[in-house]
């Protein structure tokens, strides 16, 4: 029998993988992809509880999370392109203009 | 039983491809494995009787966001970045942070275990089952959550304008 607990464990695993990706990789594209992984983990949690409680609220909230993910991807990739035009790199360690 | 098989199949695909996303050296491979993860998560949504969300996941994530990623990868040089150092020198701090995160989540799950070890899907009341999932989500979205829905549309508009402003060429007048 699949319980809500199973889904929460799966979401926790995906979220942790996303966090590790953000913290260890230097390629900005992969960092953005890791953020998408984390948002997916959150959506799994929301929908698992939506199914558990038989309320549709969790699914509506998941739609808003997907909206925010789309907006974040558009702006994030715009920043990547602007950055690549200026610095010709995808390595985040070389983007240190505002670092003192 | 079928539920269990589906859950473990999709869950394994999701986790394994997620690990591959953050370990591949070539960005294109990462994007492909991200697509696999997104499809598997859509399958997880299906096992939770969220058919509408599964469709939205495939259309918006795989059809929209992932294609956007691939477009940007095409625009910027891939070959050179493959030979760069892929991992920064934060392995220790990353491990500590994820260990803290795992402990935190495990503690939360441990404290709430009695309320969580229940069937993930309780049988819906007959009236709710008669109405489809999309219809339920649509009704909630356009009645109780109308204001957040409008705010989300404004957010998308702002994101579109922001992305265009960030990515466009600077005109001589601006410089």
Instruction: Look up the CATH number of the domain holding residue A57.
Output: 1.10.287.3510
Residue A70 lies in a domain: yes
B1-86 has which fold? 1.20.120
State the pLDDT confidence band at A26, using cuts at 50, 70 and 90: confident
> B35 near A33, Cβ under 8 Å?
no
In chain A, positions 22-41, which contact chain B (CB-CB < 8 Å)?
23-27, 29-30, 32-34, 36-37, 40
Is B59 in CB contact (< 8 Å) with chain A? no
Q: What is the largest CA-CA distance in chain B?
A: 67
| Predicted TM-score (pTM) of this structure | 0.88
Please give the pLDDT value at position B115.
72
Higher pLDDT, A39 or B166: A39
Is B62 in CB contact (< 8 Å) with chain A? no
Which of A27, A32, A44, A42 is CA-nearest to residue A70? Answer: A32
Most confident of A18-22, A90-94, B166-170: A18-22
Please give the pLDDT value at position B121.
65
Count CB pairs under 8 A between chains A and B: 244
Task: Kindly provide the b/e burial profile for residues B109-144, where b requires at least 16 CB atoms within 10 angstroms of the residue's own CB.
Answer: eeeeeeebeeebbeeeeeeeeeeebeebbeebbeee
Is B113 in CB contact (< 8 Å) with chain A? yes
Please give the pLDDT value at position A93.
78
pLDDT at A82 over 70: yes
Residue A96 lies in a domain: no
DSSP designation for A39: H
Q: Domain span at residue A27?
A: 4-90
Please answer yes or no on whether B122 and A54 come within 8 Å at the CB atom: yes
Please answer yes or no on whether A69 and B61 come within 8 Å at the CB atom: yes
Cβ-Cβ contacts under 8 Å, A16 against chain B? 98, 101-102, 105
Residue A100 lies in a domain: no
- Domain ranges in chain B? 1-86, 90-117, 132-170
- Residue segments in chain B with a per-residue pLDDT below the cut of 50: none
CA distance B60 to chain A (A): 8
């Amino acid at each position: 029998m699949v319980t809500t607990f199973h889904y929460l464990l799966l979401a926790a695993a995906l979220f942790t993988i996303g966090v590790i990706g953000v913290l260890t990789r230097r390629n900005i594209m992969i960092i953005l992809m890791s953020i998408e992984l984390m948002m997916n983990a959150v959506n799994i949690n929301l929908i698992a509880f939506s199914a558990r409680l038989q309320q549709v609220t969790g699914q509506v909230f998941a739609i808003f999370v997907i909206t925010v993910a789309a907006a974040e991807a558009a702006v994030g990739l715009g920043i990547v392109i602007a950055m690549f035009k200026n610095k010709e790199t995808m390595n985040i360690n070389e983007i240190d203009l505002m670092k003192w | 039983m079928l539920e269990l098989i589906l859950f473990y199949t999709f869950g394994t695909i999701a986790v394994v491809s997620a690990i591959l996303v953050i370990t591949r050296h070539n960005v294109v491979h990462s994007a492909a494995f991200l697509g696999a993860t997104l499809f598997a998560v859509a399958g997880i949504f299906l096992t939770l009787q969220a058919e509408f969300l599964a469709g939205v996941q495939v259309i918006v994530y795989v059809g929209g966001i992932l294609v956007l990623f691939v477009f940007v990868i095409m625009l910027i040089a891939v070959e050179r970045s493959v030979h760069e150092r892929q991992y920064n020198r934060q392995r220790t701090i990353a491990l500590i942070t994820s260990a803290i995160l795992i402990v935190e989540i495990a503690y939360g799950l441990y404290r709430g275990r009695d309320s969580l070890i229940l069937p993930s899907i309780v049988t819906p009341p007959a009236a709710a089952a008669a109405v489809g999932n999309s219809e339920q989500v649509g009704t909630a979205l356009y009645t109780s959550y109308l204001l957040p829905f409008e705010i989300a549309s404004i957010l998308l508009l702002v994101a579109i304008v922001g992305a265009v402003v960030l990515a466009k060429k600077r005109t001589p007048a601006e410089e």
